[in-house]
Amino acid sequence: MNESSKYSGFTFGNNNGNFNLENNGTLNQGVAKTDEDIATALKQINEEIKKLSEDKREIAEPHFDLLQTHLKSGDKEKAKKPLEKLNTLLGSVGSILTIASFLGFGLPLK
């Protein structure tokens, strides 16, 4: 069954690595297929973390480290929790959507 839900401009359905993100009328589409896509997404998340206030950055950095560790080990279920926390702190930025789609998760992650 191919179900899909729409949340505030986001449409999520059967997740096969594809994602669509509509923000203020701008539609971004992408497919996370390679390790290079994930490396780029991680770099972008790291840049977003640097823009946070010091308090939020102190929370985000350990979750970012955990996410990287779990991605390297291939443990998708363990990667979900730090990804959820980063999504809460950073919002649904494209780099988080890239990693979520790579792991086979839709949004909201919870």
**How do residues 13-35 score in pLDDT, each as one tens digit?**
444 444 444 444 444 444 455 77
**Residue 65 phi, psi dihedral angles, 5° rounding:** -60, -45
Instruction: Compute how many other C-beta atoms are within 10 angstroms of the C-beta atom of residue 70.
Output: 19
Q: Which residue has the higher pLDDT, 60 or 24?
A: 60
What confidence tens digit (pLDDT) does each residue in 65-96 have?
999 999 999 999 999 999 999 999 998 889 99
Let me know if residue 28 belongs to a domain. no
Domain count, the chain: 1
Q: Is there a domain that residue 54 lies in?
A: yes
Cα angle 7, 12, 16; round to 5: 160
Residue 16 lies in a domain: no
* Residue 52 reports pLDDT greater than 50: yes
Q: Give the pLDDT of residue 67.
A: 96
Domain that holds residue 71: 33-110
The kind and range of the H/E element at 47 are: helix 35-50
**pTM of the predicted protein model:** 0.68
